[in-house]
Amino acid sequence: MSIKRIETGRRMSQAVVYNGVAYLAGQVASEAAAGKSVTEQTASVLASIDAQLAAAGTDKTRILSATIYLADIGTFAEMNAVWDAWVPEGNAPARATVEAKLAAPAFTVEIAVIAAV
Cα dist. 41→64, 106, 109 in Å? 22, 10, 7
Residue-wise pLDDT for 42-74, tens only, equals 999 999 999 999 999 999 999 999 999 999 999
pLDDT band at 1 (very low <50, low <70, confident <90, very high): confident
pLDDT value of residue 35: 83
pLDDT value of residue 34: 74
Q: Does domain 3-116 have CATH number 3.30.1330.40?
A: yes
Euclidean distance between CA atoms 27 and 80, whole angstroms: 16
pLDDT band at 32 (very low <50, low <70, confident <90, very high): low
Q: Residue ranges per domain, the chain?
A: 3-116
Q: How far is CA 82 from the centre of its chain?
A: 13
Q: Can you give 29-77 as a three-state secondary structure string?
A: CCCCCCCCCHHHHHHHHHHHHHHHHHHHCCCHHHEEEEEEEECCHHHHH
Euclidean distance between CA atoms 53 and 73, whole angstroms: 26
* Number of H-type helices and E-type strands within the chain: 2, 7
